[in-house]
Structure 1
């Protein structure tokens, strides 16, 4: 089979009526409900910023540095490290002189660096202060390397995966975030948005096949469980959703946003990325087991695929914990340096929020394995039963989907 034929076979419905009916039976209602939900929740009056707040931002290139010895500071104060002046050629052609950035977290600049500056209006003129580096070119290069690596390894699947990633960003930026800012229920917005992302991305990436349909069903069920558990857990632990400077600032600037609902929305959306990985893997695993062992019934298919799922879940759980630990490492160091008792540390609003997020996401993930595996094994075992008079076919079916190949072999 040519690679081109293989690619097209993945994108078409399998050529047998049972699979087409089952796919449409799940896909059509799910799409309709998701579309109705998006229409009802679509943002209509999203708050818009009236204009840039604070000093104007300009860009330029560092053309010269003149380091100087730092003046002494009073005893007990933090000594200055980088002193002197820097010349910057602004993008409009003008050349200005400003101080070398100093202090904790200040950017380190050298000749040739592209920098961002704040233009401050002082009495008698404008002064400039370097605030950060420009990173646009480097990020574009990194993005191009990422896309090339995905396409080089995944080929056509890599292209569809990148298209799915683009769809995810579009739904996040043009539906989920504006709808929450517009005062819609963050939980409903997250569930509907996650369903839209899942339906488009899974079928776009893995094709219109019965394998994908089973993964979609398992993901929908697990997302519902995750949302319910998140609501129960955040209420029981008395989380408000306001735990850090960002959430505090959001409550001040956007008072209509339901912060506890925003926390629930974050849990649901965060769970989706791992859920679809597990459900697609389990569905494809059962399909491959049924194809390799046509005599396997429901019990043996479910048992074998579940054992594979346990190994997958064990590694994924460790990945989730390490991801949260890595993101929270500065916070953990801050608490450790402050000698905070462990009990007080774990029950603080900020840490408790992450613990609830991890626990609820993991429970939803664990639930996804038996649900998806049972659905796939049930379908595979029903198809493995012999039929009295298999229909004759003039042409072979496309073999892009393992379920289609399995039915072909057992017909």
Structure 2
């Protein structure tokens, strides 16, 4: 009589993660979430009104008011027209005298209390002056002095409709390609900006410590963006846990880089204005927060990709072990690191291009250029982002491989001699 026995493995995918390890990952994410909420409550801004910095004040000490305008004509005329900046309901008078040549631009006021009237803007020819053409839409600032006299001045170009059109095209392309996930990602962008405007900036303005504020804001953004865009699953939980760990690492690295390189942030004009008009705000803290927030995007990109890669390899690997899934995902991760690091460095170099151009014609040595604070900030920012990026890959890949596979060995292991059919007579 013939008798046979065999062990069959008919799993269609990787063995699920054991409940204990899954609970550990979930518990860590819950703990981080609770810590984020507690930190936000403790660091929540006071809501006190801050004094408006002098460059942004009007004559009465309030915020500068801007109105829309459209260029009607532009011509060269003698400087010193007495009607410049005033509200006009008729043709402006002509200036006389030998005071140099200026560009005089007649602008129709399109909003505010003087809508329908005109004003005359006067510019001396030269670099840095706006080059206005007939039909250009611009913004003009409106000032009212103590005597009630209203004057107008050029403020900026009107960019509402071009930017709105670009944003609409961006949103349509994202939604067309990524469908509902793309729409959720756009909602996540809105939430991220909301966190920055409602929490991060007011807290920094109140003088709160920069590192906790930046870490709490970044964690809140990550929870919202990752789960909203990619759904709630073990895959996204692996990416989130890896990103949070990398974020803490980026915070420590940012602090160390700023302290070791003695970066003050005062080489940037905006920081000088903050130091001059918002004395309770730490400039180095502001610089540190910028380092941390700036690393979020690239960390999120890499960790989500690595988690997805590990789970896909586990699903298609016909019972691959954790080690095999980890090594396979790391091969993808190394390529991702290589491409993202130079992308990161070139992005920062692009933002500092005007400064590098000035240095290139100043006959300064390369060492002086690279160690000057303006360039050192970009180098430190690139180094911090690159280190956090590189270390986030094995960290996230390890977490994802652990969650994507449940067996220490292959699920569909080759048959052993004891498992092969045997015949008995």
Residues 43 and 137 of structure 1: is their aligned pair in 2 closer, same or farther, counting only changes over 3 Å? same
Task: State the distance in 2 between where 1:124 and 1:214 align.
Answer: 63
Structure 1 residue 28: Cα displacement? 2.0
- The residue that corresponds to 2:286 in the other structure is 262
Give unmatched runs, 5+ long, in structure 2: 1-15, 80-98, 412-425
Q: Deviations over 1:334-365 (max 9, x none)?
A: 11111111111111111111111110111010
Matched, 1:85 2:128: no
1:99 aligned residue (122, 125, 128): 122
Q: Deviations over 1:74-107 (max 9, x none)?
A: xxxxxx9984432222121112233257432322
Higher RCO structure (Cα 8 Å, ≥6 apart): 2
- The residue that corresponds to 2:201 in the other structure is 177
Residues 204 and 101 of structure 1: is their aligned pair in 2 closer, same or farther, counting only changes over 3 Å? farther
Matched, 1:223 2:225: no
Question: Highest CA radius of gyration, 1 or 2?
Answer: 2
Indicate the SS of the match to 2:108.
strand
- The residue that corresponds to 2:32 in the other structure is 30
Q: Kindly indicate whether the alpha-carbon contact (under 8 Å) linking 2:65 and 2:143 is maintained by their aligned counterparts in 1.
A: no
Q: Kindly indicate whether the alpha-carbon contact (under 8 Å) linking 2:17 and 2:405 is maintained by their aligned counterparts in 1.
A: no
The aligned runs of 1:243-322 (5 Å cut-off) are: 243-322=267-346
Structure 1 residue 183: Cα displacement? 1.1
Task: State the distance in 1 between where 2:162 and 2:101 align.
Answer: 25
Task: State the distance in 1 between where 2:38 and 2:240 align.
Answer: 19
Structure 1 residue 23: Cα displacement? 5.6
Answer with 256-265 or 172-181: which moved more. 256-265
Give unmatched runs, 5+ long, in structure 1: 1-13, 72-79, 388-411
Q: Kindly indicate whether the alpha-carbon contact (under 8 Å) linking 1:58 and 1:90 is maintained by their aligned counterparts in 2.
A: no
Q: Kindly indicate whether the alpha-carbon contact (under 8 Å) linking 2:263 and 2:377 is maintained by their aligned counterparts in 1.
A: yes
- The residue that corresponds to 1:157 in the other structure is 181
Residues 158 and 104 of structure 1: is their aligned pair in 2 closer, same or farther, counting only changes over 3 Å? same
Point out the structure with the larger helix share.
1
- The residue that corresponds to 2:262 in the other structure is 238
Structure 1 residue 244: Cα displacement? 1.4
Answer with 320-329 or 22-31: which moved more. 22-31
Tell me the TM-score normalised to structure 2 length.
Answer: 0.79
The aligned runs of 1:175-214 (5 Å cut-off) are: 175-214=199-238
- The residue that corresponds to 1:144 in the other structure is 168
- The residue that corresponds to 2:83 in the other structure is none
Residues 297 and 356 of structure 1: is their aligned pair in 2 closer, same or farther, counting only changes over 3 Å? same
Task: State the distance in 2 between where 1:328 and 1:62 align.
Answer: 33
Tell me the TM-score normalised to structure 1 length.
Answer: 0.81
Task: State the distance in 2 between where 1:140 and 1:98 align.
Answer: 27
- The residue that corresponds to 1:168 in the other structure is 192
